[in-house]
Chains A and B, each alone.
Chain A
Amino acid sequence: MMVLLRNPRRQIEVSGAMQVSTLLARLEINRESVLVIRDGTIVAGDGWLADTDDVEIRPVISGGFDGPAHRRGARP
């Protein structure tokens, strides 16, 4: 199957049918930090992916943060 990864955007090929949880474990990706999407639909952790599928592993972690360490000494 063809797997689209992001940040940076790239595509890799993975051989064989497998469950989503297996794919993520094989790619060493934390399941808490992504969604697996096929044809615009989320596939659950125990869902099966076919060898011919195109899937996207979409990261869900985002955001900059203006934290105290950046603001130390700065006044409002």
Chain B
Amino acid sequence: MRCRVCRGPAIIDIRRHNANFCAEHFLKLCRDQVAKAIGEFDMISPGERVLVAVSGGKDSLALWDLLLDLGHDTDGLYLGLGIGDYSDRSHRYARDFADRRGAKLVEIDLPGDYGYDVAGGAKAARRVPCSACGLSKRHLFDRAALDGGYDVVATGHNLDDEAAVLFGNVLRWHTEYLGRQVPVLPGANGFPRKVKPLVRLGERETAAYCVVRGIDYIVEECPMALGNKHLGYKDALNAIEVTSPGSKHDFYFGFLSRASARFRVDAAADSQDLHPCPSCGAPTTAESCAFCRLVARAGGHHPVAVELSPTRPAPSVTRP
């Protein structure tokens, strides 16, 4: 395999581009794709302060690295979720990256600061763990961005994430969520602007970016996420991608250009009647916001032991 740009030995093939790249030109491709996404969707203007949601995984660390290299003014925000050894190791990767790049990492600890961990919160609120986790992240990222005077929150959602979410929303025709599935959510009604600069990169590319750049990240899946529907949707889309390269890209970007606007009415209807939560001031349509209700039910909840051995069946491996 030869690099499409320089004809040197390639390290990676990207079949949806029908091209191979050497390490140097692969990194350039990643930077170009992120810059293109930022420009195409008006994500970040020059001089704006960006808060990057950092988990210690490949996507968020690649995003932070790319935004720094593209000259954006960024700090990271790490949220400790209290998922045992998994959280400890994730935290180390985030902190080591920040130290190496001389960047500022803001840290929030869910058990220490709010009295519950993800497993305990999920149990107390009768939610699945990914729901308690997502709710906590959204609320605390928003609050940290507004309190810290940041113009925008950047998250590491990549093309595979967006295609899988779209797949799930279409399967169940969640029209209000389809109306909100855009790479930029404008800041309004007490919410900060949120952007997804990695939407033009697949997760194989963000992982490869980290390997080539020498960025250490947590490789293991979150033990709470194992076996969830989202991972199943990704498997299904990857099975299609093998025989039809570019399918995930066409599915997602075709949706944005041809269908997304049709669902905005549903999303707008879902956002009516927003008012400040009387406890914390966050926008809500209920008496108090979902985060305050979660804290009220789960705060002080005893930590729940996390089973770190995977429950998801490993891919079948046949010894030759």
Chain A residues with CB under 8 Å of chain B are: 5-10, 12, 14-16, 26-35, 37, 40-47, 58-71, 74-76
User: CB < 8 Å: which of B131, B177, B285, B310 contacts A75?
Assistant: B285
Identify A35's interface contact among B204, B226, B234, B274, CB under 8 A.
B204
Structural contact, B284 and A61, CB atoms closer than 8 A: no
Chain B's closest residue to A6 (CB) is B219
| Interface-central residue, A27, A46, A70, by most chain B CB under 10 Å | A70
Give CA–CA (A42, B211) in the complex, Å: 7
In contact, B165 and A42 (Cβ under 8 angstroms): no
Cα–Cα, bound, A74→B87 (Å): 27
Q: Which of B116-140 contact A (CB under 8 A)?
A: 127-131, 133-135, 138
The answer for the CA separation of A48 and B127 in the assembled complex, in Å, is: 47
Residue B280 is within 8 A (CB to CB) of chain A in the complex: no
Q: Which residues of A contact B211 (CB under 8 A)?
A: 35, 37, 40-42, 58
Q: Do the beta carbons of A64 and B317 come within 8 Å of each other?
A: no
Contacting residue for A32 out of B59, B208, B242, CB 8 A:
B242
**Cβ-defined contact, B177 with A68, below 8 A:** yes
Q: Does residue B195 face the partner (Cβ distance < 8 Å to A)?
A: no
Q: Contact residues of B with A, CB < 8 Å?
A: 1, 9-13, 20, 57-59, 127-131, 133-135, 138, 160-161, 164-165, 168-169, 172, 174, 177, 203-204, 206-208, 211-212, 214, 219-222, 224-226, 228-231, 234-235, 238-239, 241-242, 274, 283-286, 289-290, 309-310, 312, 314-320
Residue from A33, A69, A76 whose CB has the most chain B CB atoms within 10 Å: A76
Residue of B nearest to A60 (CB): B207
A/B interface sample: 27 pairs, CB < 8 A: A7-B314, A8-B314, A28-B317, A31-B242, A32-B242, A41-B211, A42-B11, A42-B211, A44-B9, A47-B1, A60-B203, A62-B58, A63-B225, A64-B129, A65-B130, A65-B161, A65-B225, A66-B131, A67-B169, A68-B174, A69-B168, A70-B131, A71-B131, A71-B135, A74-B131, A75-B286, A76-B290
B238 pairs with A69, CB closer than 8 A: no
Chain A hits for B316, CB < 8 A: 28
Chain B residues near A29: list those with CB within 8 A.
315, 317
| Contact (Cβ within 8 A) A65 B317 | no
Chain B residue nearest to A40 in the complex (CB): B211
Alpha-carbon separation in the docked complex, A43 to B10 (Å): 9
- A21 to B234 CA separation, bound complex (whole angstroms): 21
List, in ascending order, chain A residues with CB within 8 A of B172's CB: 68-69
A66 to chain B: closest residue by CB:
B134
Query: With the chains together, A70 CA to B125 CA distance in Å?
Result: 12
B165 contacts A5, C-beta separation under 8 Å: no
